[in-house]
Copies of this chain bind each other. A is one copy, B any other.
Amino acid sequence: MTAPEITDVLHERALRLLQEDASKIEKLIEVQMENLTTRHCPLYEEVLDTQMYGLSRQVDFATRAGLIGELAGKEIVSKLERNLAVLYEAMERKG
């Protein structure tokens, strides 16, 4: 492989890994949204916060390591943050 090809592979792999991790959190949010009316697990919020922190550290690292662009990283995190905000709002309304 040539130099540009190798960096392409590394960049794509990094982005794919981050998106996979983001999808897992996305799933956690969806599950909690579905369970909103039936049951509420008090640890869920803490688990989600911890997962979000972990992902944001990975994204930050990937950005600093030059594997992904700053904007791509921010998009991954802020998309999840918006979903989380919707969840927390729904939880609040349910009280």
Contacts and interface: CB of A to CB of B under 8 A. Distances in A.
Interface stretch (A35-43, A51-59, A86-94): A51-59
Interface in A7-58: 7, 10, 13-14, 17-18, 21, 50, 53-55, 57-58
Interface residues of A, number: 24
Nearest to A9: B66
A80 interface: no
A61 B64 contact: no
Interface of A: 1-3, 5-7, 10, 13-14, 17-18, 21, 50, 53-55, 57-58, 61-62, 64-67
A61 B17 contact: yes
